[in-house]
Amino acid sequence: MESGTVGIRLFRDRLTRYVARARRGHRIVVSDRGEPVAILTAYRSGKASARDARIAELFASGHAARAERSFKKTLVPVKGRGELPSAIIAKTRR
């Protein structure tokens, strides 16, 4: 889940957007003059969310399987030959 901070005026002006984001699982911190005053999160009833229920259904039906091992969390840099991509981009912007 993602988290974000928003000022109270912007929150008021775009309330529907922030409620939609909270519904999707985001956590929104509302601040007043830089001071956090509230947190908006999705309401969770005692039952599992529709997404969790659908995932469980896919596993039960055999259409999906859990990963056999965890994913790598660190990236290994790749050493290439030739000019650096950043140098090529800088040339094209001139």
Range of the domain at 30: 3-45
Helix intervals (H) in the chain:
8-13, 15-23, 50-61, 85-92
Query: Cα dihedral sign for 77, 82, 84, 85?
Result: negative
Residues in the chain with pLDDT values less than 70 = 1-3, 45-48, 94
Total structural domains within the chain: 1
CATH number, domain containing residue 9? 3.40.1620.10
Q: Write down the pLDDT at residue 66.
A: 83
- Within a domain: 54: no
Tens-place pLDDT, residues 54-64 = 888 888 888 88
What's the distance, CA 1 to chain centroid? Answer: 5
**Eight-state DSSP code of residue 49:** P
Q: Write down the pLDDT at residue 39.
A: 92
Mean pLDDT of the chain: 85
Q: Write down the pLDDT at residue 45.
A: 65
- Within a domain: 17: yes
Q: Write down the pLDDT at residue 2.
A: 58
Q: Write down the pLDDT at residue 47.
A: 66
Q: Cβ distance 26 to 13 under 8 Å?
A: no
Residue 70's SS3 state is coil
Q: Write down the pLDDT at residue 48.
A: 65
